Amino acid sequence: MTKIAVVAAGAIGGSIAADLTQAGMDVTVIDQWPAHVEAMRERGLHVTMPDVEFTSDVDAHHVCDLSTLKPTFDVVLLCAKSQDTKWMAQLIEPFIADDGVLVGVQNSMNNDAIAEIVGRERTIGCAIELSADLFEPGVIVRNTARSGTWLAVGELDGSITPRLETVAEILRSVSVVEISTNIESKKWTKLVANSMTMGPFGLFGLLNWDAMRLPGMHEISVALGRESVAVGEALGYQLEPIFGLTADDFTGETDNLLVKAMETLMHHVGKDSQTAVVVDHKKGRRSEFEYISGHVVKMGEQTGVPTPYNRAVTDLAWQIDRGEIEMGPENFERLKEAVQQQAV
């Protein structure tokens, strides 16, 4: 049986670990939150989805347990926030089989960072759409049912390999899974969608649907997406169908594609969801925005593509992280003012 590790079992990783364990797979869960690990050990991992509720008896361990467990894993699913990618990849690298793989089940563009640590020959890329929240140790509220969750996996060189098909088959217990021959463009297209939603919505502290309905937010989201697409094109990425959309669905003018991707994402995550950046700010935790809007800005600087809208979002997010302003709806006015100043 394939030995699987889920590293970082927060809302996303925990959802995946619970599904794989329920499916009878050999899964080891490794997480850095002590109270969460102890809750999973004592009571299992409780998951509520729109269509089902269950408790999964996961095999949960603290990160410090690795040195005494001395396991060897065939497939590692790294579900950490982007800022934790490097140290967690370094942590788990000695425990990956020589012919094993690490799959970065994450937002943003982390495959190169992972490959530098575990080797490109042991890296598989993944683009993900799964919405879930974790506020209480051992308890996950998942907003997307398995049928409404989407993953794409792909080899970095675009080939279709037996190990890629194995990873896809494993993840089909979690979601709809697409095998991609251009995973980096898939991931950039997801980043484009996140820059339109996760980035700005994280400033307001609102549910996603409420943030999307703010007067003028639609136009700002499209402008954010245009910038992200332009940066991606300068880097050599192309827009790819995501969220289960087909090539036929994903044709037409760029603005229409951006709106279709954004609306599909909002439909899948549901009306009661909030973006991960909002959750991070509520927990007083460093958020992932610098790897979403901030990454667009950074790559824009490298390629010479102007990104005033994404820069405005990033600047406000830094102010929230530093405690200079509070997350709240009033930041929408600040965002509009900042965009105007950046444009000037």
CA 40 – CA 46 distance, rounded (Å):
8
Last residue of a domain, one of 181, 197, 232: 181
Same domain, 162 and 281: no
Same domain, 146 and 82: yes
% the chain with pLDDT above 90: 79
Q: Give 258-281 pLDDT, tens digit per residue.
A: 888 888 877 777 777 888 888 888
Q: Give 282-295 pLDDT, tens digit per residue.
A: 888 888 999 999 99
Same domain, 304 and 236: yes
Please state, rounded to an integer, the average pLDDT across all residues of the chain: 93
Q: Do residues 61 and 28 lie in contact, with contact meaning Cβ atoms separated by under 8 Å?
A: yes
Last residue of a domain, one of 130, 150, 181: 181
Counting the structural domains of the chain, the total is 2
Same domain, 36 and 146: yes
User: In the prediction, which pLDDT does 341 show?
Assistant: 79
Same domain, 149 and 45: yes
Q: Do residues 104 and 81 lie in contact, with contact meaning Cβ atoms separated by under 8 Å?
A: no
Contacts of residue 40, defined as CB under 8 A and 6 or more positions apart, other chains included, come to: 9, 29, 31, 58, 60, 137, 138
Q: Residue 63 is part of a domain; what is its CATH number?
A: 3.40.50.720
Per-residue pLDDT band at 344 (split at 50, 70, 90): low
Burial 264-275 (b: 16+ CB within 10 A, else e): bbbebbbeebbb
For residue 329, the enclosing domain spans: 187-343
Same domain, 305 and 274: yes
Same domain, 135 and 40: yes
Same domain, 261 and 282: yes
Beta strands across the sheet bearing 139-142: 53-56, 45-48, 139-142, 132-136
Q: Give 109-132 pLDDT, tens digit per residue.
A: 999 999 999 999 999 999 999 999
Each as own residue / partner, the long-range contacts of residues 326-330 (CB below 8 Å, 24 or more positions apart, any chain) are 327/202, 327/203, 327/204, 327/205, 327/278, 327/281, 327/282, 328/204, 328/205, 329/204, 329/205, 329/206, 329/214
Q: Residue 220 is part of a domain; what is its CATH number?
A: 1.10.1040.10
% the chain with pLDDT above 70: 99
What's the whole-model pTM score?
A: 0.94
CA 123 – CA 99 distance, rounded (Å):
11
Same domain, 144 and 175: yes
Same domain, 229 and 157: no
Same domain, 259 and 215: yes
What are the backbone angles phi and psi of residue 30, rounded to the nearest 5°?
A: -125, 125
Same domain, 30 and 140: yes
Torsional sign, CA 174, 32, 281, 153: negative
Last residue of a domain, one of 148, 164, 181: 181
Helix 254-269 and helix 217-235, axial crossing angle in degrees, nearest 10: 110
